[in-house]
Amino acid sequence: MRSCPRLAPLAVLILAASVVASAQIKREVFAYTVTAKPVISIRNQYGRITVTPSNGDRVVATVTHSGAVEIQGQQNQNRVELTTGSQISSGAKADNVDYQVLVPADACVILSTAAGSLSAENLEGDLIFEGTTASVDAHLIRNAHIHVKTLSGPISLRQISDGHVDVTTASGDVILQDVSGSLVEVHSGSGRIRYLGNPGLGVYKLVTGTGNIDVTVPWVRLARFKARSVKGRVDSPILVPPQGTLDFASGQANSLLRNAAAAFELHSFRGNISVREASK
């Protein structure tokens, strides 16, 4: 009669460790009652923070994390703060912490994480995103002032209307899709900046050090363009400027664009700049 094979000691240890780790996963719910325009601050170290609107005057955060991590939550009048920390006794890193947060649509939301992702959608309050390598995604945001500051994480802003956008990143790529507002300003050291959509009535200042800038609008006469690249080139199959510059802020070349509602200022030191109409 054949006996079942015995597991090696190392395999037994690994299996036991996996069972213990699995048993330590926690799911906590933090709930707070707030009034109009609350301030919600969430600071994580490693992991994901996702914010969506609630149906009333409640802030509800569902947090999934390991047993080595503790979540600290507090409310001071109309301000709610949630912070990820490590238990001192274990000394373990506070990694892979997942926040799913419901907030009133008019809340001012402050999100911070070193690595992972930051996401907000369908909100009307001001947003502040801070990350190191974290990705940032915001869409369906209305009437808000949006601040984004990252070191290298990619940034995606989509369907932003009537807003004021301020983005600063050292090397992250930035995508702006259907973004309109009074002022949209993006500064990237080496990342690529892409704009797609109808600019509405806004002023757009897109600046990179070595990255490329690509602008695609439905109709080029929707905006005035002023572009310059010191070491790169400016390319537009529709508007043909002198090599290295594209300036329709004044002069005869701008005669059809003087009444355009939007204005673009595009600057790059070493990258290339392109302006195009969307393909029909």
Q: What is the pLDDT of residues 209-263, one digit of tens each?
A: 999 999 999 988 888 899 999 999 998 766 545 444 455 443 333 333 456 789 9
Encoded tokens for 215: 């602008």
Q: What is the pLDDT of residue 259?
A: 64
Q: Is the pLDDT of residue 65 over 60?
A: yes
Q: What is the pLDDT of residue 51?
A: 98
SS3 219: coil
Rounded distance between C-alpha atoms, residue 208 and residue 169, angstroms: 10
**Which of 81-90, 141-150, 158-167, 176-185 shows the lowest mean pLDDT across its residues?**
81-90
The pTM of the full predicted model, rounded to 2 decimals, is 0.83
Q: Which residue has the tokens 């109409």?
A: 277
Q: What is the pLDDT of residue 41?
A: 98
Half-sphere exposure of residue 231, counting CA atoms within 13 Å on the CB side? 8
| DSSP code for 77 | T
Rounded distance between C-alpha atoms, residue 74 and residue 65, angstroms: 18
Instruction: Give Cβ neighbours of residue 221 (< 8 Å, ≥ 6 apart).
Output: 256, 257, 260
> What is the Cα 176 distance to its own chain's centre?
10
**Which of 76-85, 88-97, 120-129 shows the lowest mean pLDDT across its residues?**
88-97
Q: What is the pLDDT of residue 280?
A: 58
Q: Which position has the higher pLDDT, 165 or 93?
A: 165
Rounded distance between C-alpha atoms, residue 210 and residue 170, angstroms: 11
Rounded distance between C-alpha atoms, residue 58 and residue 178, angstroms: 30
Point out which residues pair with 232 in neighbouring strands.
Answer: none
